[in-house]
Amino acid sequence: MALEKLRRIDDTKIEVPLDYKPGMGVKGIIYVDDLLEKELETQSIDQVANVATLPGIVGASLAMPDIHTGYGFAIGGVAAFNLKDGIVSPGGVGYDINCGVRLLRSNLKKEIVLPRIKELVNILYNEIPSGVGSKGKIRLSPEDEGRLLIHGARWAVEQGFGDAGDLERIESGGCIDGADPSLISRKAYERGKAQQGTLGSGNHFLEVQYVDEIYDEKAAGSLGLFNDQITVMIHTGSRGFGHQVCTDFLEVMERAVIKYKIELPDKELACAPYESPEAQDYLSAMRAAANYAWANRQCIMHWAKEVFMRIFNISPKELGMTLIYDVAHNIAKIEEHVVNGKKMKLIIHRKGATRAFPPGHPELPEIYRALGQPVLIPGDMGRVSFVLLGTGKAMKETFGSTCHGAGRVMSRHQAIRKAKGRAIWREMEDKGIIVRSAGRETLAEEMSEAYKDVSNVVDVVHSAGISKKIARLRPIGVIKG
């Protein structure tokens, strides 16, 4: 049995060896301790091995401790390909292009907000559209949508949603160059024109949290975090627009596999050579969807701030609600890394994985250059989330990557079956967490038991040294899609 070939490297890593599956060009490495190893799915291990067979892969096929089975690539997967004979695969990014996380800090303390948390959650729920197919307050003309796809969060700031200072606190400045709106299908435009400024469904959320533990006082202070402080975390992506871009280009890539005679162990890994027109077109369309997502999170942040100011009747200065950082965790990017002692430009696929760049990295904004990149790891709605920092070890071992969340242990259907007859919202309220959701099934799908314990996941990446724990955040109010 292939599983018997797995080898533990150390307390935080196991190896998927070259002979695990025929055709592997590099080994696989999965970041898990003994506890999380018991929750590994055979299919997700196979997916790590499958990715290791793709042309031009360098280093290793990697997976983070929140790994679970996905489309083609495992969720939690990281893979780097050289630009000469490597490939680009939509399955290595996922359907929700630039799904990501944004964290806001404030001057408010828990004792001020807790007495009004129910009112706050209800108004946030009414002001920020959520749920399947939800439509927002923004109606985009074709011209507006084209500008948004090129300029990303900059477009949102120009429309009055936030401040120019926000942009330096967003990965890539909230806009990745090279987007081409002409490559977007009419169906994607149709799906996207009414969904800007919406949370969407599934595991997307807006959480009102407070800082309940600090692990590094100096670093937390540099980020503007303190004990019992109210924070807001936003988790969403490119909505139906990005989903349609992925759908459209999977068809293109399926034809490309035949055209370029690429042998695949799984058709879901459909891809094209990096230098091919198919791969370049996908990357240009993917960048447009990534920019859509950054604008989306920017608009939601603006409305959340307005709600806080209205409910607590305070000025922007008194509220002090500012962006700490915004990270993407479903994206492909060209980056420079050292492989076997040599600097190389690579196309890094992160699918359910977060950049974790170290202090001094040239891509970090000046405000975080000395500190390192903030890493935002949400948990399930009933437990906690974490703020970490990127490290030099991540650059050496994981192409500057770490985990992105807790990771599912139950399918959505399994979770719905397990929750039958239960009132999840009441169970949450008993824990001191007020929840609003577009539907009862969403709460069932998203209940805590459906996920790994994010504390265990974060302990692995912290112990492995690929990101460093700074603070823990506990939810008191949740809006779920």
Cα 323 from chain centre: 17
Residue 441 contacts residue 132 (beta carbons within 8 Å): no
Q: How far apart are CA 123 and CA 140, in angstroms?
A: 24
Q: Establish how many alpha carbons lie within 13 A of residue 422's alpha carbon, considering only the half-sphere containing its beta carbon.
A: 16
Predicted confidence at residue 134, as pLDDT, reads: 64
3-state per-residue secondary structure call for the chain: CHHHHCEEEECCEEEECHHHCCCCCCCEEEECCHHHHCCCCHHHHHHHHHHCCCCCEEEEEEEEEEEECCCCCCEEEEEEEECCCCEECHHHCCCCCCCEEEEEEEEEEHHHHHHHHHHHHHHHHHHCCCCCCCCCCCCCCHHHHHHHHHHCHHHHHHCCCCCHHHHHHEHHHHCCCCCCHHHCCHHHHHHHCCCCCCCCCCCCEEEEEEEEEECCHHHHHHHCCCCCEEEEEEEECCHHHHHHHHHHHHHHHHHHHHHCCCCCCCHHHCCEECCCHHHHHHHHHHHHHHHHHHHHHHHHHHHHHHHHHHHHCCCHHHHCCEEEEEEECEEEEEEEEEECCEEEEEEEEEECCEECCCCCCCCCCHHHHCCCCEEEECCCCCCCEEEEEECHHHHHHCCCEECCCCCECCCHHHHHHHCCCCCHHHHHHHCCCEEEECCHHHHHHCCHHHECCHHHHHHHHHHHCCEEEEEEEEEEEEEEC
CA nearest to 152, candidates 313, 28, 296, 356: 296
What's the pLDDT at 395? 98
**DSSP β-bridge partners for residue 331:** 350
The rounded mean pLDDT for the chain is 95
> What kind of fold does domain 100-250+268-333+355-480 have according to CATH?
tRNA-splicing ligase RtcB (3.90.1860)
**Amino acid letter, 379:** G
Confidence at 440, pLDDT banded by 50, 70, 90: confident
Q: What's the half-sphere exposure (Cβ side, CA atoms, 13 Å) at 277?
A: 3
Pairing of strands 467-480, 434-437: parallel
Which one is catalytic: 151, 349, 404, 462?
404
Residue 133's pLDDT is what?
A: 65
Q: Cα(127)–Cα(118) distance, rounded to whole angstroms?
A: 14
Vertex 474 angle, CA 322 and 366, to 5°:
35
CA distance 311 to 287: 37
Distance CA 308, CA 10 (A): 46
Mean pLDDT of 355-376: 97
Are 397 and 466 in contact, with CB atoms under 8 Å apart?
A: yes
Q: How confident is the model at residue 154 (pLDDT cuts 50, 70, 90)?
A: very high
Active site residue 151: no
Predicted confidence (pLDDT) per residue in 204-257, tens digit: 999 999 999 999 999 999 999 999 999 999 999 999 999 999 999 999 999 999
The per-residue pLDDT for 1 is 46
Judging by DSSP bridges, how do beta strands 28-31 and 57-68 pair with one another?
A: parallel
Dump pLDDT digits (tens) for 34-91. 999 999 999 999 999 999 999 999 999 999 999 999 999 999 999 999 999 999 999 9
Task: Give the whole-angstrom CA distance, residue 49 versus residue 423.
Answer: 40
Which conformational region is residue 152 in: left (phi greater than 0), alpha (psi within -120 to 50 degrees), or beta? left
Distance CA(416)–CA(432), nearest Å, equals 23
| pLDDT band, very low/low/confident/very high, at 358 (cuts 50, 70, 90) | very high
- Over residues 179-183, the mean pLDDT reads 97
Helix 277-312 / helix 117-127 crossing angle, nearest 10 deg? 140
Amino acid at 229: Q
From CA 139, how far away is CA 239, in angstroms rounded?
Answer: 15
